[in-house]
Amino acid sequence: MEMKPNILMGRYELGRLLGQGTFAKVYYAKTLKTGESVAIKVMDKEKILKVGMIEQIKREISVMRLVRHPNIVRLYEVMASKSKIYFVMEYVKGGELFNKVAKGRLKEEEARKYFQQLISAVDFCHSRGVYHRDLKPENLLLDENGDMKVSDFGLSALPEQFRQDGLLHTACGTPAYVSPEVITKKGYDGAKADIWSCGVILFVLMAGYLPFLDANLMVMYKKIYKGDFKCPPWFSSEVRRLVVRLLDPNPRTRITVPQLMEVPWFRRGFKRPQAGKDVDVGLLEDVDSAFCAPKPACLNAFDIISLSPGFNLSGLFKDDVVKQEESRFTSTQPASSIMSKLEEIASLFRFSFKKSKDCKVKLQGSEQGRKGQLSIDAEIFEVTPSLFVVELRKTGGDSLEYSKFYSQDLKPGLKDIVWTWDGNSQ
């Protein structure tokens, strides 16, 4: 028996499980429209609410719309249903850099390439006021070209998290990669803490093991606090000097990113990549809407009676042309899926698309018709938690052009989510 494809929001076909954490699962998926591969992180709203992670998720969305860079995993969009939140992200199929290092230390040239890409991404983040705070090889992914991309901004910080002293105070990160000042809990500079973690990563790439590893956590913290480590004999003198400056336990004298970029060893073969736009406009509204699913208006008993052909008296007051410009269908799909399907149709036929939190949608054509641009409004109403009524209405443009678009494009395009059209028996 052939399995039906698992379609998400009418836009993505979910595939195999890529990874799983405490609060999320990551799946491979394909965009139905283009066939492009993506990764979709699925989070359970109830679990997030239970452990108080709402602000962290919102911050991660805010951060990822600020950091568009070739060496940072891109977040395409955020979607939500009543129970889940979906992050649609760039699919990076080469796996974690950690897996590569686990097979053995890297040669100096290869380690330098990854380190350059890491610093380039970190420098860009800092220029946007974003501090990662959990840099480690497990959060560095490799694409099909062998280029590195920073991921997982769940613990990152923005300027509004700084206290009056201009420092961050939340101790977070992975113990083996955190800086001494984070451990002491006296406040720290996010940029200086990130550069320390980059130093640990460079050491790991070149050595194949951690600089401050110890089975006893307190002993390891003491080593970190003192900067107590030894470079292996195969480190070149240039690498040795750089690592010592990166893993300087005093944040005031630790090398900065601008200083690092002037070091001859780092500059060798370095090409600064072209960064993208500052803000991904498509994500601007997603920060709050991810936690606030679209809420349609409810239909009461009188509304439902008026929809029945036998009781609907509107035909006495409307001519045939107006009737043709309005239609209605029922659907058992959630409001978010209905809106996604309408957005998919709008994109397919080059209509602009606007939606509101009360489940009202406007589609407007890009071409000038006989009476201007074709414009269609749609509104979703809830009859029961599992049954919705959608009203479609032409609000601009030529009636004949609308009739043609409706019958040839719009109605066939909605067939996957329609239970029954008004006037059709089920």
Active site amino acids: 134
Distance CA 152, CA 147 (A): 17
Distance CA 36, CA 38 (A): 6
Distance CA 303, CA 335 (A): 19
Q: Which residues partner with 381 through β-bridges?
A: 297, 389
In single-letter form, the type of residue at position 351 comes to: F
CB under 8 A, 24+ apart: contacts of 177-180: 177/134, 177/135, 177/136, 177/201, 178/224, 179/224, 179/251, 180/224, 180/225, 180/227, 180/249, 180/251
E-strand stretches of 11-65: 12-20, 24-31, 37-44
Distance CA 112, CA 273 (A): 15
**Any idea how long the chain is?**
426
Cα 344-346-349 angle, rounded to 5 deg:
110
41 is in an annotated binding site: yes
CB under 8 A, 24+ apart: contacts of 397-404: 397/365, 397/369, 397/371, 397/372, 397/373, 398/369, 398/370, 398/371, 398/374, 399/321, 399/324, 399/325, 400/370, 401/369, 401/370, 401/374, 402/325, 402/374, 402/376, 403/324
**Number of neighbouring beta carbons within 10 Å of residue 288:** 10
Tokens of 398: 């030529």
| Binding site residue list for ATP | 41
| Binding site residue list | 41
